[in-house]
Amino acid sequence: MNLAQVVFKAIDGICYPTQNKLRFPEVVCQKDISYGESEHAVGDLYYRRDILNDGKKHPLILYYHGGGFVMGDKKCRVSISEFYANEGYFVFCVNYRMPPEVVFPSYMIDCVNAANYIKILAEKYNIDLESLVVTGDSSGGYTASYMEALVCNPWLSERLDCPQIQVSFKGAMLMCGIYDLEVLLKGTKLMGVIPKTAQLIVGDFPLKDDLSNFGEFPYVEYMSPSAFVNEKWCSTFMCWANDDIVCQNQGGPMAEKIKAVAPSFDTFEVDGFMNNHCFHLEFSHNKLAMDCMQKSVLFLKKLFAEETVAV
Could you read off the pLDDT of 43-99 as tens digits, one per residue?
999 999 999 989 999 999 999 999 999 999 999 999 999 999 999 999 999 999 999
pLDDT-based confidence at residue 306 (cuts at 50, 70, 90): low
Strands 27-34 and 42-48: antiparallel
Question: Which residue range(s) make up the domain with 37?
Answer: 3-310
- The mean pLDDT of the chain is 95
State the pTM of this model: 0.96
- Residues 6+ positions from 149 with CB-CB distance below 8 Å: 156, 225, 228, 229
Q: Please indicate whether residue 13 or residue 309 has the higher confidence score (pLDDT).
A: 13
Structural domains of the chain, count: 1
> What share of the chain in percent tops pLDDT 90?
90
Length of the chain counted residue by residue: 311
Mean pLDDT of all residues in 33-39: 95
pLDDT recorded at residue 310: 38
Alpha helices in 107-168 (DSSP H): 107-116, 118-124, 139-152, 155-160
* CA distance linking residue 224 with residue 180, whole number of Å: 5
Looking up residue 175, the CATH number of its domain turns out to be: 3.40.50.1820
pLDDT at 2: 84
Task: Specify the pLDDT at position 190.
Answer: 86
